[in-house]
Structure formats: structure tokens, C-alpha cells
Amino acid sequence: MRCFLQAKIHRARLTGTHVDYEGSLAVCPSLLQASGLLPNERVDVYNVDNGERLTTYIIEGESGEIALNGAAALKGAVGERIIIASYAWLTNQEMREHTPRVVLVSEDNRVREVKG
């Protein structure tokens, strides 16, 4: 088995950082639905503006919300752009048929386009 990109939310804007919270990443429900990502799913977060990277899990946020919580909040600032990515282990057969889902996001964290 090999590990491949499963889903990605591309260049969402951070709307909040909350250090005094039990760690996680709050994600807008419409972005979760469009990407197929689920609450409690492990994700990697890549900060486009400062180069920080971290691994955490998703919780469902409010409409338009993308917020780093707990220690992860120290890895970004409101207004910075992030990429949220999940990965899946695939067999040789699954690799040939796999297409990741990529959600391109507008400046206000709305779904602009879904690929895959």
C-alpha cells in the first residue's frame, strides 16, 4: 500500500486562533461537505503565508470559520492562508482509479470550485 492525497481544501483563510482550547482545527460545514472531510479526521495543515506545518484533527466549525485551536493556534494568524490535506492508504488497484477531491476556496472561505 502507498499513501496518496485523499482530499484538500486549498487556501482557506484563518478566521480565528484560540490557544486556550483543546487542540483541533475548526472547519466550515460547507467546506467539510464539499471536500468529504469528516469531524475527528486527521489532517495536515500547511500555512501558505509563514511556512508552518502541523498535524491535527477536524471539528465542525461555524459557517465560514477556519480556526486553529490549542497549540496549533501558535502556527498561524487571522487572515493567513492555509491548505488542509488528508491522505489515504491505497492498494495497487485503488491507486489506478483514485482521484483526490480538491476544494478551491474564495477569499471569504466559500466553495469556489471542486475538482475530482
Q: What pLDDT is attached to residue 23? A: 73
What's the whole-number mean pLDDT along residues 61-68? 97
The edge-to-edge listing of strands for the beta sheet with 111-115 is 16-18, 66-69, 24-27, 53-60, 42-47, 81-90, 2-13, 101-105, 111-115
Annotation marks residue 35 as catalytic:
no
The predicted pLDDT at position 22 comes to 78
Q: Which is it for strands 42-47 and 53-60: parallel, antiparallel or unpaired? A: antiparallel
Among the listed residues 57, 63, 86, 106, the single catalytic one is 57
In the residue annotation, 21 being an active-site residue is answered as no
- The 10s digit of each residue's pLDDT in 82-97 is 999 999 999 999 999 9
pLDDT tens profile 12-44:
999 999 999 977 999 999 999 999 999 999 999
Q: Calculate mean pLDDT across residues 91-106.
A: 97
